[in-house]
Chain A
Amino acid sequence: AQSVTQLGSHVSVSEGALVLLRCNYSSSVPPYLFWYVQYPNQGLQLLLKYTTGATLVKGINGFEAEFKKSETSFHLTKPSAHMSDAAEYFCAVSGNQAGTALIFGKGTTLSVSS
């Protein structure tokens, strides 16, 4: 069975500050890991993914995440927050095969103040 825990349902940062959104996962098989962003009244957009290889993955809009197997974590970071980063962020895990279900966390709302 697989599961995802996102620590902190709401994170607030100032514009220009570091963004850190936490994600821990549980998986009985080597996982694929994903971060998605959702803007109000929209679907999900993929920010980045880890499948195999390099554990530090870079995504769109300046985001990156590091897969740490020993800590079962996949935290999302961005060095400098922008107002446009305000949105809902979801971490997801799946098995390491195409066509398996994505298991999502409950999400973290990121607020950015000027």
Chain B
Amino acid sequence: ETGVTQSPTHLIKTRGQQVTLRCSSQSGHNTVSWYQQALGQGPQFIFQYYREEENGRGNFPPRFSGLQFPNYSSELNVNALELDDSALYLCASSGLGSYNEQFFGPGTRLTVL
């Protein structure tokens, strides 16, 4: 069984640029959630996708957007990058009947200069 994978591992961007992060969910999981973890903080919920539709959103501005594909993989897009967007971005997948047990990928470390 393949776990959750994310790419790239690390990324450096400058203010104002756009970035796309990718996530492959665990086999059999149809729900993907994205979290932002700033240095020294707990993860914060960005949004969730279920069957290619956004299924909940945290307190993040519209320049954070996402997609889910028919194979349940997902993308997180961030436009007009700001310095405060520097963080570890975590993707988690879960399946039906899993009591909301979410399996996390290793994350993408984004640095905005």
The CA of A51 and the CA of B33, in the complex, are separated in Å by 19
Interface size on B (CB < 8 Å)? 32
When A101-B45, A101-B56 are in contact, do A43 and B97 touch as well, CB less than 8 Å? Answer: no
* Residues of chain B lying within 8 A (CB to CB) of residue A58: none
Instruction: Tell which of B36-44, B62-70, B75-83 binds the partner.
Output: B36-44
Instruction: Tell which of A62-70, A71-79, A104-112 binds the partner.
Output: A104-112
Residues in A66-95 with C-beta less than 8 Å from chain B: 90, 92, 94-95
Please determine whether B99 and A101 come into contact, CB atoms closer than 8 angstroms.
no
Q: Can you report 26 residue pairs joining A to B where beta carbons are below 8 Å apart?
A: A4-B42, A32-B100, A36-B104, A42-B107, A44-B90, A45-B104, A46-B101, A46-B103, A49-B101, A92-B42, A96-B100, A97-B100, A98-B94, A98-B97, A98-B100, A99-B100, A100-B100, A101-B48, A102-B35, A102-B43, A102-B102, A103-B45, A104-B42, A104-B43, A104-B44, A106-B40
Residues of B that sit less than 8 Å from A by CB:
4, 31, 33, 35, 40-45, 48, 50, 55-56, 58, 90, 92, 94-107, 109
Residues of A that sit less than 8 Å from B by CB:
4, 32, 34, 36, 41-46, 49, 51, 90, 92, 94-107
